[in-house]
Amino acid sequence: MNKDLGKRILFPTYLSDVTTLRHPDFNSPELANAPDATFVPAPAEGVLPENFFSTTNLPTYVRIKGAWRMPREPRMDSALVLDNDGLWVREGRRLKKGDMVAVGSAEDGSEGIYVHTGSFLADEEGEFKFMTSEVSREKPIDYSLMAHILIEERARGGYPIWVTGPALVHSRARADMVWFIENGFVAALLAGNAVAVHDIEASIFGTTLGMTRTGEATIGGHGLHMRAINKVRAAGSISKAVEQGVIKDGIMHACVVKGIPFVLTGSIRDDGPLPEVITDTLAAQDAMKRHTTRATMAVLIATALHAIATGNMLPAFVTEKDGSLRELPTICVDSSEFVVSKLKDRGTHQAFGVVTNAQDFMHILRLYVERELMDRKAGKSAAQPSKVRA
């Protein structure tokens, strides 16, 4: 076997600087002599053919008419579909009868499909070591490097998506989130009804679920979130409530004022919900995907379900305009190791886990971003070189 094909390098336990990835060596005998992939028609609308190839979030190459091609809109748990417009990754539910779908189970190129795992996955070394778990509250958090990556994303005109849970609002990280939005570090916000409701409640009543800024419950406060929802519904939408001065500050206010798109997805336990909340699950998934396909970085904070949902739609890499590849930095923040571990167990292995509360993370990250911006303005900081993996 070609050494380059067999080489596997461990994705780092600690978040590394953004890593440039090499394409496979297509001149190696294993890939140069590989057959074309086999495509067969979908038997019915929304039904995949038997033995369809199930995609991963790793760089995938398909041999078509003797040439290796990468599909567009990569994500896990979907299929490879070839049509007149090119090669796509498509969810099974989107298929029409007769759509040409790649079949096969091999990922080594022997069936015309090659999944490039070398830059992301690794075999266990087998050596006894302490502190080898990938997620732990006992490990250091490199805020300086995370701040650097976020600033670089803004500088290159990237598309960082933020996925947040209501704990971000309750923990008083609201002002920090607003700062990141207003300063151009957020390209899109993905959240649920609760994030927007409690943020709007904070704007109108100064509470979240009736809790004051000092953490004290208020008399009659249990109904304030419902009153906030009602005011927005009366206005017609979150955007109109901002225009009418009903919502005067906060996360949703900043999104509207700065023109930052947001996707609010519903759940069975939602109150209201707010007018913009998408209650159809598949429609919500489609709305989120419009942003995950553009994402060049993802920050997932204090939300298990939305983090995992987003992770399932994210590739582990970014394809640049020149065709080169790099890692898609994915940061998952939660007060419990369980959430980060579950995200990685569901396939988002590129995620770097930060075990801390939302308030501390947001506040400290903001301080580090502000510090590097000040250093750059003073001419004290130089861009860090990217690493390269085979």
Mean pLDDT by 10 residues, the chain (390 residues): 34 52 92 98 97 96 98 96 97 97 97 86 42 52 92 96 93 93 98 96 86 66 90 98 98 98 94 95 97 97 92 93 90 87 79 89 96 90 46
The tokens for 85 are: 């417009």
User: What is the C-alpha to C-alpha distance for residues 9 and 125, in angstroms, rounded to an integer?
Assistant: 11
- DSSP assignments along 144-186, one per residue: HHHHHHHHHHHHTT--EEEEE-THHHHTT-HHHHHHHHHTT--
Q: How far apart are the first and last CA of the chain?
A: 15
Residue with tokens 């309750």, as numbered in its chain: 170
User: What is the C-alpha to C-alpha distance for residues 371 and 390, in angstroms, rounded to an integer?
Assistant: 33
pLDDT at 4: 38
Burial 60-98, CB ≥16 within 10 A → b, else e: bbbbbeeebebbebbbbebbbbbeeeebbbbbbeebeee
Q: Which CATH architecture has domain 24-115?
A: Beta Barrel (2.40)
* Domain layout of the chain by residue ranges: 24-115, 143-389
pLDDT at 343: 83
User: What is the C-alpha to C-alpha distance for residues 338 and 311, in angstroms, rounded to an integer?
Assistant: 15
Structural fold of domain 143-389? Rossmann fold (3.40.50)
Q: How far lies 155's CA from each of 138, 149, 152, 379, in Å?
A: 32, 10, 5, 16
Q: What is the pTM of this model?
A: 0.86
